[in-house]
Structure 1
Amino acid sequence: MPPTPSAPLTRTPLIAAGILIGAGMGGFVDGIVLHQILQWHNMLSNQLPPDTLVNAKVNMYWDGMFHAAVWVMTALGLRLLWAAVTRPDVPRSGRTFSGALLLGWALFNLVEGIIDHQLLKLHNVREYAPDPQPWNLGFLGLGVLLLLAGWALVKAGKRDAGAGPAPTHR
């Protein structure tokens, strides 16, 4: 049922979906590019260097668990997105959604960078660099840039919400 003309619009469901999808996709970029293609690190490579077949297999297992987790995160985000776009009180805004995707990727980088790289020291961005800390800080810096860009897009997308409710296509 369409909202009444005075019914308030809410962007929260769209933002929540974008953040979850963005975090999942950010995780896939990390796992596919840094773990698999560039082979700069594995999930536990600072604690368990993949210098033997057994260590490599253990790292591969935990890389797989990581990929499974970001897949679930992305799938949940897609479910939230479906629910959001079928609601008449949620305005469809490409800027809001794109900003939320960047916010999610930023949150992934910041949580991963602070917890896994700095606190737990499970791995470094570039494990075997002479000094891996600049790479770790660069990863966090990218997270901050993504956060700022995402916030700016979400804020700019607020103007899109004034255009009225999303069209219903059922």
Structure 2
Amino acid sequence: MSNRPHRSPLISAGILMGAGLGGFVDGIVLHQILQWHNMLSNRLPPNTLVAAKVNMYWDGVFHAAVWVMTAIGLRMLWSVGKRHDVPWSGRTFGGALLFGWGLFNVVEGVIDHQVLGLHHVQEYATNKLPWDLAFLGFGVLLLLLGWSLMRAGRYDSASRGSY
């Protein structure tokens, strides 16, 4: 059996939690507070009560899915905390959170905004593409920042108390 530290369980938990939390930021800020779009607002504009209720339902399904991702990631993190072969690194975990959020933005932005056309970032803008590209660009920035923090975390001490 190897005594070599294993970072991948901490990274996996962080990526899953980051994707879930990134989904919450998207849903809370863009769907609810700013009301720029809903899950199906490009396919079914919420300009009638029935259409608004359908969009609200699918927003709820979306929130339930990101809640499940976050909960699974939290469970994984709890398990990591019991392992002595996983170095506890704030840079590694924080980088994984950012990487997960960026991964969420890129995957959701490509699939929902571009491929399926379910909605766009700013559904009511005359030109939706710049908003969608900014969302993707922010996702790529989060991926790069998260990756660099995870790489920097490789040099953290293998002791359980390092941050």
State TM-score, norm by structure 2: 0.97
Does 1:164 pair with 2:152?
no
Q: Following the alignment from structure 1 to structure 2, what is the Cα–Cα distance between the partners of residues 132 and 86?
A: 47
Does 1:117 pair with 2:82?
no
Q: Following the alignment from structure 1 to structure 2, what is the Cα–Cα distance between the partners of residues 63 and 96?
A: 31
Shift of 1:166: 2.0
Contact 2:88-2:158 at 8 Å conserved across structures: no
Contact 1:89-1:165 at 8 Å conserved across structures: no
- SS at the partner of 1:159? coil
Counterpart in the other structure of 2:147: 151
> Of the two, which has the highest radius of gyration?
1
Does 1:68 pair with 2:50?
no
Aligned residue identity for 2:158: G
Does 1:32 pair with 2:28?
yes
Q: Following the alignment from structure 1 to structure 2, what is the Cα–Cα distance between the partners of residues 165 and 80?
A: 20
Aligned residue identity for 1:80: M
**Percent identity of equivalent pairs:** 70
How many matched pairs?
161
- SS at the partner of 2:154? helix
List gaps (5 residues or longer) in structure 1. none
Counterpart in the other structure of 2:92: 96
Aligned residue identity for 2:58: W
- SS at the partner of 1:8? coil
- 1:59 counterpart (55, 58, 61): 55
Q: Following the alignment from structure 2 to structure 1, what is the Cα–Cα distance between the partners of residues 5 and 153?
A: 13
Contact 1:48-1:55 at 8 Å conserved across structures: yes
- SS at the partner of 2:93? helix
Counterpart in the other structure of 1:142: 138
Contact 2:10-2:77 at 8 Å conserved across structures: yes
Shift of 1:86: 1.0
